[in-house]
Amino acid sequence: MTTPLNIAAFPQARLSRLRQQDWLRDLIQEHHVQVHDLIWSIIVRDTSLPATINTMPGLIRYTVEELPKVITDAHNLGIKAIALFTAIPFAQKCNQAKLILDDQSLLYQAIRTIKAACPDMGVISDVALDPFTAHGQDCLISDGRVQNDATLAVLAQAAVLQAKSGADIIAPSDMMDGRVKVIRSALDEHGYINTAIAAYSAKYASSFYSPYRDAVNTNACLGRADKKTYQMNPGNGREAEHEVMADLAEGSDIIIIKPGLSYLDIVKRISQLTPAPVISFQVSGEYSMLKFAAANGALNYEQALMEQLISFKRAGARAVITYAALDAAQIMRSQQ
């Protein structure tokens, strides 16, 4: 006679049951990253600057001339939108950020070139003064203080020039108060009623931006200065809701949260607060951390990248801006 099994000793709920086969794991997977979730963050450079920088391994800053091929190749890989930034030499910067209002300058050449080569590539164009100011701040400064309202006038004009050059979405990234409203009004007045605004509503004063500041040549301009009087305090969560509500009321169509990984709680919070699309930005420092860690054998770049990208989706982001979009697109293609 066999001893009866002590049923009570066995767990009946075994969550691991559904993890035993690949097909079953795939079948019940809740979230997915697809190539059309990715917005490729690209930096266009003046020809006097080198293509690469030490603090962002693998990143190439492109010249305007290189854009038609690069953008067409990305589109062929399935990338449908880019977030555009520009790097100019110090000699072209000034305290008034004059170049942002020159429609013959690098930024506007880049937008027109991209749209001419690949009209279907969505162009999300950054509107902020920092790549163009000699002091490296995102705004006009006088008497050592941020001139919020004077900056708004420049942003509005720049947004109109960008729309005129072909930008589909205007992305104000400077955290000035009231910028969405003036940009929306200026776009509408000039007939660009369908040019959308994606506001960087909750943008934190973060150390993870440092490699980007190398890439657009602003670290040297900033010196020891920071942006804590206008970018958000990392210690605040609810304040992000306040920022987002203000930007939505001013007419922002899309909300961007930045940086990414350290602020997934904010992505979650905001995606629950508003039905408007929320986009997360995996910023330069996050990209570089992955690259440097992988280069030193600490982790596998491809796997770690895809795990991070899915975490943005899980937190509630509709899309992710990333410097690694091409890498991710290639990884996904190779897994098909």
Q: How far is the CB of 17 from ligand PBG (least distance, A)?
A: 42
Q: Which residue is nearest to ligand PBG (CB)?
A: 212
- DSSP secondary structure of 47-96: TTS-S--TTSTT--PBPGGGHHHHHHHHHHTT--EEEEEEE--GGG--TT
| Residue of 93, 258, 291, 313 marked active site | 258
| Residue of 93, 203, 227, 313 marked active site | 203
Q: Which of 165, 173, 271, 288 binds ligand PBG (CB under 6 A)?
A: 173
With H, G, I as helix, E, B as strand and everything else as coil, classify residue 199: strand
Q: Does 241 bind ligand PBG (CB under 6 A)?
A: no
With H, G, I as helix, E, B as strand and everything else as coil, classify residue 142: strand
Q: How far is the CB of 142 from ligand PBG (least distance, A)?
A: 19
Q: Which of 165, 284, 311, 322 binds ligand PBG (CB under 6 A)?
A: 284
Q: How far is the CB of 97 from ligand PBG (least distance, A)?
A: 11
Within 10 A of 20 (CB to CB), how many other CB atoms are there? 10
Q: Which of 93, 112, 135, 227 binds ligand PBG (CB under 6 A)?
A: 227
Q: Does 138 bind ligand PBG (CB under 6 A)?
A: yes
Question: Considering beta carbons, is residue 130 or 247 the nearer one to ligand PBG?
Answer: 130
The one segment of 87-95, 105-113, 124-132, 240-248 that binds ligand PBG by CB under 6 A: 124-132
With H, G, I as helix, E, B as strand and everything else as coil, classify residue 279: strand
Regarding beta strands 254-258 and 278-282, do their DSSP bridges make them parallel or antiparallel, or are they unpaired?
parallel
Q: Is 98 a catalytic residue?
A: no
Residue of 123, 126, 40, 119 whose CA lies nearest to 78: 40
- DSSP secondary structure of 8-38: GGS-S--GGGGGSSHHHHHHT------GGGE
Q: How far is the CB of 227 from ligand PBG (least distance, A)?
A: 5
- DSSP secondary structure of 160-188: HHHHHHT-SEEEE-S--TTHHHHHHHHHH
Question: Considering beta carbons, is residue 211 or 316 the nearer one to ligand PBG?
Answer: 211
Q: How far is the CB of 331 from ligand PBG (least distance, A)?
A: 20
Q: Does 263 bind ligand PBG (CB under 6 A)?
A: no
Q: Does 133 bind ligand PBG (CB under 6 A)?
A: no
Q: Does 154 bind ligand PBG (CB under 6 A)?
A: no
Q: How many CA atoms lie within 13 A of 169 on its CB side?
A: 23
Q: How far is the CB of 191 from ligand PBG (least distance, A)?
A: 27
Q: Which of 37, 130, 241, 327 binds ligand PBG (CB under 6 A)?
A: 130
Q: Does 86 bind ligand PBG (CB under 6 A)?
A: no
Q: Total number of residues binding ligand PBG (CB under 6 A)?
A: 12
Q: How far is the CB of 271 from ligand PBG (least distance, A)?
A: 21
- The span from the CA of 87 to the CA of 214, in Å, is 9
Q: Does 184 bind ligand PBG (CB under 6 A)?
A: no
Opening angle at CA 297, ends 293 and 302, nearest 5: 70
Question: Considering beta carbons, is residue 191 or 260 the nearer one to ligand PBG?
Answer: 260
Q: What are the φ/ψ torsions at residue 279 (nearest 5 degrees)?
A: -120, 140
Q: How many CA atoms lie within 13 A of 335 on its CB side?
A: 12
For residues 46 and 216, the answer to whether their CB atoms sit within 8 Å is: no
Q: How many CA atoms lie within 13 A of 119 on its CB side?
A: 1
Q: Does 214 bind ligand PBG (CB under 6 A)?
A: no
Check residue 121 and report its DSSP letter. S
Q: Is 203 a catalytic residue?
A: yes
| Residues catalogued as catalytic | 203, 258
Residues that bind ligand PBG (CB under 6 A): 126, 128, 130, 138, 173-174, 209, 212-213, 227, 283-284
